[in-house]
Amino acid sequence: FWGLHMLPMGARIGTTSPRRKAMLLALRPDLRFVELRGNVDTRLRKWQEGQADALVLAAAGLDRLNRAAHVHQRFAVDELCPAPGQGALALETRCPHTPQDTAIHAAIAALNCPDVAFATTAERAVLNSLGGGCNLPLGAFCHRVDESWHLHAMVVSPDGDQVAHVIERASFDIAPEELGQRVAEALRTRGATELLGEPTLS
């Protein structure tokens, strides 16, 4: 298997994500990018046709589609930090104003995973606190480690030249919003506001 470090100088990477572009440039400033749109199979076909030297896709999606044979490198969180809430599944319902709505909420309550709900809320709090949208080069990933929460967050300048990275550890009694805001403030002290430029609300 080959990885990012084995690609030739000036390699063409297929991705449309500003976050992935910035974080990849922080690892390899020589990289170039091409926009390969479409579903996973379409992008894999375009890569195999030579339209790019490599693709960057969510490994979870490739695993789910039984395309893991195409995965040559799985990036660490401090290399390519996921977008806030990436990979989480959600159900949207109306507020429980009627008995029927209340029954629906009760029926789907068992599907809720408290750890995922906490992690997603904390990650989104980082994004919201920094006034960002989905097009910003910002990543956040929250997970349990032993007896504490770990929230990784990263902001990268679009050219990959500057990186603000925070790892915050917190006990289980913290609120996810508080954890996210704490991490956002730590990112600000490392220059994240300047790296992001003017907030882009979405």
* pLDDT tens digit sequence for 138-167: 999 999 998 899 999 999 999 999 999 999
8-state DSSP, 10: T
Contact between 158 and 22 under an 8 Å Cβ cutoff? The reply is yes
Strand 148-156 versus strand 138-145 pairing type: antiparallel
pLDDT at 134: 65
User: What is the SS3 assignment for 163?
Assistant: strand
Helix (H) or strand (E) holding 154: strand 148-156
Q: Which amino acid is at 188?
A: R
C-beta atoms surrounding 79 within 10 Å: 14
pLDDT above 70 as % of the chain: 96
Contact between 190 and 198 under an 8 Å Cβ cutoff? The reply is no
Token duo for residue 70? 């195409």
Q: Can you tell me the distance from the alpha carbon of 179 to that of 166, in angstroms, rounded to the nearest whole number?
A: 12
Q: Is 201 a residue whose pLDDT tops 80? A: no
